[in-house]
Structure 1
Amino acid sequence: MQIVETTNEGLKRAYTLTIPARDIQARIDAEVKKVAPQVRMPGFRPGKVPANLIKKMHGEALHSDAFNASLRESIDSLMKEKKLRPALQPKIDVADGYEPGRDAELTVELEVLPEIDAPSIEGLALEKLTVPVTDSDLDEALNKLAANQKSYKDAAKTKKAAEGDQVVIDFVGRLDGVEFEGGKAEGAALVLGSGQFIPGFEDQLAGVKTGDTKTITVTFPEDYPAENLKGKEAEFEVTVQQVKVEAETTIDDEFAKQFGLDGLEKLKELMKAQIEQETAGLTRTQMKRQLLDKLAADYDFDVPPSMVDAEFQQIWQQLQAEIAREENPEEGLKEIEAEKDDYRRIAERRVRLGLLLSEIGQANGVAVSSQEMGMLIQQAAQQYRPEDRERFVEYVRQDAMAQAQLRAPLYEDKVVDFLFDKAEVTEREVTREELEAAIEAEEGEAAKPAEKKAPAKKASPKKAAKDEGAEADSAADAPAKKAPAKKASAKKAAAADEPAEEKPAAAKKAPAKKPAAKKPAAKKSSADE
């Protein structure tokens, strides 16, 4: 095979490879000799079919297999001879196609990984911010838990319902005097002021007493999911079965037993462990960002543009998907467009840090074991339908790029833990608010260009993505309003502290993931919000 280098600029390389026709033919001859004993043809004894007849019968397939095998072998030889480390899959073109009997000429274009000086891990100093769990923290957590376990008791029959009280009601809804589907319920429990029912419904129940019957008039919102109710005025005949008031919740042994625990002390132990686990996660995030900021400041080298482009596209698609779910996506798109260069810098930082962590890991023997890899594959397989899981596992085991994608997050964590162990760590106790502020400040700092760093400030906010967990309304749930969506910073979603991950080759497709299972919803009436 002849190799001619045509491009050597920065991290870009290009080569022309010539595979002699005689080499391809020799491979074909070897394959014919290998399969000849198994070929059966009328008029010939087993194993005695002439080679020329075998070539005539299977010539096209033999040439195709031989060419593809020669192609793979040539690329492997190129990588070894030139000691190339491709950043992504090389681009390979066959000049003028391939015709049997002629030399095959290939062009190979690729970007290589940069040569990185072995990173020094000596003298690394990190500050670990810890949050002690105080008695007041524990009391606050218990009070929140109790608030979420509200119970109600019957009020006196003369009690007039007020905000915060619960009314148990029967109702029938009518449009122009005709009952409509989903507009009727019995024994519905409604807390006044909760915003659970459509606008105006709860307000008109203020002051009702047990046994009262009242007709109320409401107008369905214009954006209501049920087409037949949008903007329509409806009457609801409501009968109040019972007015209830909130019962006082005492945090004691009996309260703890509601959760299957022996007593209050056991509940406190569990709550404390939960708080400690949450703050430990925040502490690790703060330390990791501090570590990566130090590495980013100390090491600057060219990174393959194709890897940056791929990482940027991943960030950009994630942002666009989040913004598309917002009430005003046009405004969100304008905002991220204005900061597009910032996101490209984030992508470049992620790629550079990923390469740097990989170099540190390889230099220090950090690895993901076969057992750990097997667990990762099995965990990932759970995202697929049961009938597709085995096919997914087989797909990953045969595709090195898919394996790399699964391995990358765990490998990164193992390298980070290795560096934590090697670093000189000093601890400082802070409040949770101070810890969260430190994380946000580091996040904002990481998003800036290295050459323009200034005192840390809050990362610019992005339009928030709505929760994906909201279920589609059924016909009976049509008037129900969705709960306010929780918001999460899109810039955080495109965190600068995650190294670039390799993606599965486009030529192969994993089994389709199973759709998210919908939770069975209790049947709601049209008055429910």
Structure 2
Amino acid sequence: MSTNFEKISSNKVKLTFVVPAEDFDKALNQAYLKDRSKINVPGFRKGKAPRAVIERMYGEGVFYDDALDAIFPALYAEAIKEHNIDVVDRPQVDVQEIGAGKELKFTAEVFVRPDVTLGEYKNLTVEVEPKEVVTEDEIQARISQDQQKGARTIDVTDRGVDYTDTVNLDYAGSVDGVPFEGGTAQGQTLKIGSGAFIPGFEEQMVGMTVGEEKDLTVTFPEKYHAENLAGKNAVFHVKVNSITKTELPELDDDFAQDNGFDTFDAYKADVAKKLQEIADTNYDVEIENALIEKAVANAQMDIPAAMIDDQLNYVMRDVEYSMMRQGLRMEDYLKYTGQTREQMAQQYRGEAENRVKIQLVLEAIRKAENIEPTAEDIDEQSAKQAKRAGQEVEAFKANLTDEHKAYLSDLAAIQKVCDLMKAGATVVDKKPEEAAETAEETKTEE
């Protein structure tokens, strides 16, 4: 067999195959042996008719398609390997000559990973929002999170309901004396002041004591999800089963020691340090993203639709997993929004295309600069991944598969590409009005 390789565009190649007659005849005979039991021929038991008889009855090409299907996969895989082709779509096959006792000649055109013509990617100038300096309010908010983790729940029996208390209650609602669907519950938990119930409900519970029963009069909002209740007055008969309050630990040295520090000052300093490290990392990532965006804009490439389609499938899977983590099914979301999956996917097609562009440009820069990660670079990525997974580095590395090792190697190479771009870059802080415009654009896109 011989194969000819021809590049017909920046993203497509053509393979020409010539298969010896004897090889194709073998494939024809195999197709006959495989299919003869399915073919009815008068005068012969099923599966017993000679090949020549079947070909006379159904035409000499009766086994051509199956013979080609049988012989093609191995020939195609061998050609891809021989010519080192990175295909991204299914091939389009065109048979030029076929027949018993003849050479089989056909071509296969297929889209491949496209060539990328790089523009400027070094010494770029980018504008980003100024580096954030962590504020006292942010430090206090982070400390409050740790404080909440150490909170205790205490039963309240010596006073009535107050704001921020949590109440266990029974209630039964009615409109004009008639109970309505969804208006009755037993053992419901409600945090007073949360705004979780109809306006006026929680406020009227303030002062109620354990075991007390009371009628609360409220008005449903004009824009209420249940149209039959919108704007109507309702009465809820309420009984308080229990009252609890949350007691937070004091912010002192004892609190610090519970969190692994000798003093509260040392604990607070560590909180501030970690928050600033996060802010610094985010700033570096913003610079990298701005540089990549500019390098992509400066590059030229013709991306096959199949590459975007594949990436779109990944994007949609990410969206679906994100919904699942929030307790929402894709089917329900589509129903609520009145969309089909295809319509929703179209909204993410631009994002998928941009992801492909970024990947192709980073790979092209890596190739142009002959960038290969060192063992130290890969170890650094392993350490980062282990930290994110909450594992010791050695334990993390011990469980790595070959596929995961290759992934870490690619991450390390991409980081070196980003480091190269940052090395000669000029970073300018956006002016306040520009930062505000960017934030508004982002909000609008969301």
TM range (shorter): 0.5 to 0.7
Give the deviation of 1:300 after TM superposition.
Answer: 2.0
Q: What is residue 202 of structure 1 aligned with on the other side?
A: 202
Q: Does 1:461 align with 2:433?
A: no
Separation in structure 2 between the aligned mates of residue 160 and residue 118 of structure 1, nearest angstrom: 71
Structure 1 contact 126–424 (Cα < 8 Å) conserved: no
* Cα distance change of structure 1 residues 201 and 421 upon mapping to structure 2, 3 Å threshold: same
Q: Does 1:109 align with 2:113?
A: no
Q: What is residue 420 of structure 1 aligned with on the other side?
A: 419
Partner letter of residue 112 of structure 2?
Answer: V
Structure 2 contact 372–413 (Cα < 8 Å) conserved: yes
Q: Which runs of 5 or more structure 1 residues have no equivalent in the other structure?
A: 29-63, 225-230, 383-392, 398-402, 445-456, 463-488, 490-529
* Cα distance change of structure 1 residues 114 and 327 upon mapping to structure 2, 3 Å threshold: closer
Q: Does 1:355 align with 2:360?
A: yes
Separation in structure 1 between the aligned mates of residue 127 and residue 151 of structure 2, nearest angstrom: 42
Partner letter of residue 299 of structure 2?
Answer: Y
Separation in structure 2 between the aligned mates of residue 67 and residue 368 of structure 1, nearest angstrom: 46
Structure 2 contact 117–300 (Cα < 8 Å) conserved: no
Q: State how 1:267-286 maps to structure 2 within 5 Å.
A: 267-286=267-286
2:333 paired residue among 311, 325, 328: 325
Structure 1 contact 216–238 (Cα < 8 Å) conserved: no
* Cα distance change of structure 1 residues 87 and 137 upon mapping to structure 2, 3 Å threshold: same
Partner letter of residue 206 of structure 1?
Answer: V
Paired residue secondary structure (1:107): strand
> Deviation digits for residues 355-401 of structure 1, max 9, x if unmatched?
221122234233598x98xx8xx99xx9xxxxxxxxxx9xx97xxxx
Separation in structure 2 between the aligned mates of residue 156 and residue 71 of structure 1, nearest angstrom: 81
Paired residue secondary structure (2:444): coil
Q: Does 1:411 align with 2:410?
A: yes
Give the deviation of 1:255 after TM superposition.
Answer: 3.1
Paired residue secondary structure (1:130): coil
Q: State how 1:75-474 maps to structure 2 within 5 Å.
A: 75=76, 78-79=79-80, 83=83, 85-91=85-91, 93=93, 95=95, 103-116=103-116, 123=123, 130-143=131-144, 145-146=146-147, 157=158, 159-162=159-162, 164-166=163-165, 168-169=167-168, 171=170, 183-185=185-187, 190-195=190-195, 202-209=202-209, 212-214=212-214, 236=237, 238-239=239-240, 241=242, 250-259=250-259, 262-312=262-312, 315=315, 325=333, 329-330=337-338, 346-363=351-368, 364-366=370-372, 411=410, 414-421=413-420, 423-424=422-423, 437=435, 441=438, 458-459=441-442, 461-462=444-445
Give the deviation of 1:12 after TM superposition.
Answer: 3.1
**The 10-residue stretch of structure 1 (198-207 or 14-23) with the greater mean CA deviation from structure 2:** 198-207
Quote the RMSD (CA, aligned, Å): 5.9
Partner letter of residue 360 of structure 1?
Answer: I
Q: Which runs of 5 or more structure 2 residues have no equivalent in the other structure?
A: 29-64, 227-231, 324-329, 390-398
* Cα distance change of structure 1 residues 136 and 108 upon mapping to structure 2, 3 Å threshold: same
* Cα distance change of structure 1 residues 368 and 327 upon mapping to structure 2, 3 Å threshold: farther
Partner letter of residue 131 of structure 2?
Answer: T
> Deviation digits for residues 39-83 of structure 1, max 9, x if unmatched?
xxxxxxxxxxxxxxxxxxxxxxxxx9x9889645643564477x5
TM-score by length of 2: 0.58
> Deviation digits for residues 419-472 of structure 1, max 9, x if unmatched?
3156336798989x97x959x93xx9xxxxxxxxxxxx714635xxxxxxxxxx
Structure 2 contact 365–417 (Cα < 8 Å) conserved: no
Paired residue secondary structure (1:202): helix
> Deviation digits for residues 320-348 of structure 1, max 9, x if unmatched?
997862785148999979x96xx655544
Identical aligned pairs, as a percentage? 19
> Deviation digits for residues 177-219 of structure 1, max 9, x if unmatched?
9xx9x9443xx76431224567775344233245634356899
Partner letter of residue 133 of structure 2?
Answer: P
Give the deviation of 1:110 after TM superposition.
Answer: 0.7
Separation in structure 2 between the aligned mates of residue 73 and residue 309 of structure 1, nearest angstrom: 26
Separation in structure 2 between the aligned mates of residue 136 and residue 155 of structure 1, nearest angstrom: 31
* Cα distance change of structure 1 residues 151 and 319 upon mapping to structure 2, 3 Å threshold: closer
Paired residue secondary structure (1:265): helix
Partner letter of residue 358 of structure 1?
Answer: E
Q: State how 1:20-31 maps to structure 2 within 5 Å.
A: 20-23=20-23
* Cα distance change of structure 1 residues 11 and 136 upon mapping to structure 2, 3 Å threshold: closer
Separation in structure 1 between the aligned mates of residue 124 and residue 343 of structure 2, nearest angstrom: 38
Separation in structure 1 between the aligned mates of residue 429 and residue 210 of structure 2, nearest angstrom: 52
Separation in structure 1 between the aligned mates of residue 429 and residue 6 of structure 2, nearest angstrom: 58
Q: What is residue 8 of structure 2 aligned with on the other side?
A: 8
Structure 2 contact 170–239 (Cα < 8 Å) conserved: yes
Partner letter of residue 133 of structure 1?
Answer: V
Q: Which has the higher helix share?
A: 2
Partner letter of residue 361 of structure 1?
Answer: R
Structure 1 contact 14–107 (Cα < 8 Å) conserved: yes
* Cα distance change of structure 1 residues 99 and 26 upon mapping to structure 2, 3 Å threshold: closer
Paired residue secondary structure (2:13): strand
Separation in structure 1 between the aligned mates of residue 343 and residue 444 of structure 2, nearest angstrom: 9
Q: What is residue 448 of structure 1 aligned with on the other side?
A: none
Separation in structure 2 between the aligned mates of residue 333 and residue 88 of structure 1, nearest angstrom: 23
Give the deviation of 1:350 after TM superposition.
Answer: 3.2
* Cα distance change of structure 1 residues 195 and 259 upon mapping to structure 2, 3 Å threshold: farther
Separation in structure 2 between the aligned mates of residue 331 and residue 71 of structure 1, nearest angstrom: 41
Paired residue secondary structure (2:301): coil
